[in-house]
Amino acid sequence: MKSVRIGLMGLGTVGGGTATVLQRNAEEITQRVGRSLEIVRAAAREINEQTVFAADSSVKLSDDAWDVVNDADVDVVVELIGGYSPARELVLKAIENGKHVVTANKALIAMHGDEIFAAASEKGVSVCYEAAVAGGIPIIKAMREGLTANKIEWLAGIINGTGNFILTEMRDKGRDFDDVLKEAQALGYAEADPTFDVEGIDAAHKLTILASIAFGIPLQFDKTFTEGISQVTTEDVTYAEELGYRIKHLGIARKTAKGIEMRVHPTLIPEKRLIANVDGVMNAVLVQGDAVGPTLYYGAGAGAEPTASAVVADIVDIARTFESAADNKVAALGYQAGKHSNTPVLTSDNFETAYYLRLSVEDRPGVLADVANIFAQQDISIEAVIQKEPASEGERVSLILLTQTVQELKMNTALSKVEASNISDSVTRIRVEHLD
């Protein structure tokens, strides 16, 4: 049986890891697949003596990715260059040329996946993207195939290791956000410009993909509510612990009677939940199905070989069905073409969740009653209160509140009234999810 010939675009961390895994585990992979996987072409911006394959004359090297997608000897194009463009154009050209595609590019799939999958369906080729979400965790396969008997009710995930590392350090060592961010950059966990990680954009790309698979809706990154962790303080982390919660940067997708919530934001979750104990740069996704109940998927969300594990698994899937008709393959997003739902994605005003609130108030009798009265007007119930003693006479104090579940529009109205009444000169709010 002839080998499957692979062309790699991008020889950085993940590209190098993919080459290493394919070479090191070649015998086991061949035994499992029934045919060998052979890298025949690779492209990178810079080709030198340190480049992987530099000593392997059987692999054609180029500094132009278009050489890969236009090479007639390549069966599967592996896109590991990242970003929106030229990745989109290269992938579409590979499909046009009748090649299967494997990508780790979550931004590309979240923004252009519908277009790419439609082109692949028309051409009868596969586009696989397991490595685009949660690195080495096989969450795409689990949701798209393993949970296919279920109606997914909701999912919640720690799907950005940089943010999780920062929040873990803030909790365990009492460090400030800016201090930990600098260390994350020094360790290579965060980029020089960390915006995508700490402001939730990276997680929103991934959540967009997971929500589409879970609920059978088109990819809609522009409708994913996104809030970062840069405003979380050590004070909030400490108070959360006192209340029995931990703060995690979660991606949450939930199907409700009104529509689908897609949101990324800092979240208090009970410390007893397994996902609350996922620390450092690790990722985890909790999925609630109507038949199976809750299932948790945990592992490395990034790194050369963990991500390469997912890339190679996709290549293996393509190799196993290499000569099968397209209709016999698993649909890219789990639902057959034309079967996606038009269920609306809700705006943030329609979210329903509980809240952690930190108010800075005067140390005087009746201030809690004033806040409670405003909340009562919006049908907001207070579940727990912590009021700190002032450090010195006349100093404002922190008033910490936990509320029960309420529509976000009502909370917005209540907090506007609190601020307008000068009860508090600042209000910090973090959403609370119990995940039960």
**Which residue, chain included where needed, has tokens 């989109």?**
88
- Is 255 a residue of the active site? no
Query: In angstroms, rounded to a whole number, what is the distance separating the alpha carbons of residues 424 and 393?
Result: 17
Q: 139-300: which CATH number, 2.170.190.11, 3.40.350.10, 3.30.360.10, 3.30.300.20?
A: 3.30.360.10
Lookup result for tokens 């790419």: 116
Catalytic residue among 99, 106, 206, 248: 206
Q: What pLDDT is stored for residue 47 in this prediction?
A: 80
Check if the beta carbon of residue 129 is closer than 8 Å to that of residue 274.
Answer: no
Rounded to whole angstroms, the Cα distance separating 339 from 337 reads 6
CA torsion angle 271 274 280 282 (round to 10)? -160
What is the torsional sign of CA 379, 384, 385, 386? negative
Q: How far is CA 43 from CA 66, 172, 261, in A?
A: 9, 43, 40
What token pair was written down for 234?
């050590």
Cα–Cα distances in angstroms (integers) from residue 349 to residues 113, 411, 413, in the given order: 27, 9, 10
Radius of gyration of the chain (CA): 24
Distances (CA, A) of 111 to 115, 162, 199: 9, 22, 18
CA 333 to the chain's CA centroid: 16
What confidence score (pLDDT) does residue 336 get?
A: 83
Coil vs helix vs strand at 161: helix
Report whether 221 contacts 313 (CB < 8 A): no
What's the token pair of residue 351?
């979210």
Check residue 393 and give its pLDDT.
65
* CA dist., res. 74 & res. 70, Å (int): 8
Domain spans, the chain: 4-135+304-328, 139-300, 349-432
Q: What's the pLDDT at 50?
A: 62
Query: Which residue blocks in 25-105 are alpha helix, DSSP H?
Result: 26-33, 66-69, 87-96
The single residue listed with the structure tokens 């506007």 is: 416
Q: What share of the chain is helix, strand, coil (3-state, %, to 5)?
A: 40, 25, 35
CATH 3.30.70.260 fits 349-432, yes or no: yes
pLDDT digits (tens), the chain, 436 positions: 789 999 999 999 999 999 999 999 999 999 999 999 999 999 998 887 667 776 667 899 999 999 999 999 999 999 999 999 999 999 999 999 999 999 999 999 999 999 999 999 999 999 999 999 999 999 999 999 999 999 999 999 999 999 999 999 999 999 999 999 999 999 999 999 999 999 999 999 999 999 999 999 999 999 999 999 999 999 999 999 999 999 999 999 999 999 999 999 999 999 999 999 999 999 999 999 999 999 999 999 999 999 999 999 999 999 998 877 666 788 899 888 777 889 999 999 999 999 999 999 988 888 999 999 999 999 999 999 998 777 666 678 899 999 999 999 999 999 999 999 988 878 999 999 999 8
Q: Which fold has domain 4-135+304-328?
A: Rossmann fold (3.40.50)
Task: For tokens 């979380």, name the residue.
Answer: 232
Residue type, 241: E
Place of tokens 């999810």: 433
